[in-house]
Amino acid sequence: MFLFFGVFFAADLFACTRVVYKGPAENVLTGRTMDFSIDIPANLWLSPRGMKRSGEVGPNSVNWTSRYGSIVASSWDIAAPDGMNERGLVANLLWLVKSEYPSFDVAGDKKGLTIAAWAQYALNNFATVAEAVGELRKEEFAVVTDFIPGTDKFTTVHLSLSDPTGDSAILEYINGKLVIHHDPAYQVMTNDPVFEEQLAIKGYWEQIPGTMFLPGTNRPADRFVRASQLHRCHSSNE
């Protein structure tokens, strides 16, 4: 399993695209662009297994000890939006404006996890997409979001997971509810719209041969169509 990043700055405010490529000899590549309206200071964090971690939302935070070592590309030295663990599980956070997270009571029964560590939690605890989906769907903690430091941008993202088998899942919080899309076929995702609508768009454009025309703007929906078409053509030529 390999992970690679691309950083570009475009007119679109949050123009990220994530693709999982299944190549010959069972090679699986996960790549994403990181296109943002402001500079994102980034460092690589290498975390060993056995490291004690916290959800960082106060005394009612979820706590865990990492089962797997990981490497992530950080943002502002507080968040882990992209990374891979020693078992080849890859996690990517992409912007999703329609995200709405469940309410969190600092004095309540449910533990909390900062959105900055959502991807890191998956990398620390799970070896495969299926394992991660099975546990995360239990919603044993609340994902807690906040503003990006020093900005007026309220963090709204969805999480994608992939692994060396080519399995894939997209996790979104819509109207305060966790929605999980789990299928090896879900190899392309962008920012908006919500993934269910991305799939509907894909279904429409699959009826139109790519040799005729494809949508050409930098809108997330159009980028999703182009990436899906390129991925389909590449796969058919294997």
Q: Could you tell me the domains of the chain?
A: 2-236 (3.60.60.10)
- What amino acid positions are annotated as catalytic residues? 16
**E-strand stretches of the chain:** 2-7, 17-22, 28-34, 44-47, 52-54, 63-65, 70-75, 79-85, 90-95, 111-114, 141-144, 157-162, 168-174, 177-182, 188-190
Q: Treating both helix axes as pointing N-terminal to C-terminal, what angle do 220-236 and 195-205 enclose, rounded to 10 degrees?
A: 60
pLDDT tens, residue by residue, 89-127: 999 999 999 999 999 999 999 999 999 999 999 999 999
Asked whether the predicted pLDDT for residue 35 surpasses 70, the reply is: yes
Q: Which residues pair with 183 in a beta bridge?
A: none
Average pLDDT (57-72) is 97
pLDDT band at 37 (very low <50, low <70, confident <90, very high): confident
Q: What is the pLDDT at residue 11?
A: 37
Q: Which residues pair with 93 in a beta bridge?
A: 159
**E-strand stretches of 116-209:** 141-144, 157-162, 168-174, 177-182, 188-190
Q: Which residues pair with 22 in a beta bridge?
A: 28
Cis peptide before 193 (omega within 30 of 0): yes
Residue among 44, 63, 182 nearest 117 (CA): 63
The residue that leads in pLDDT, 170 or 13, is 170
pLDDT tens, residue by residue, 15-28: 688 999 988 888 99
The DSSP bridge pattern shows strands 111-114 and 90-95 to be: unpaired
pLDDT tens, residue by residue, 175-192: 999 999 999 999 998 888
Q: How far, in Å, CA of 2 to CA of 169, rounded?
A: 17
pLDDT band at 9 (very low <50, low <70, confident <90, very high): very low
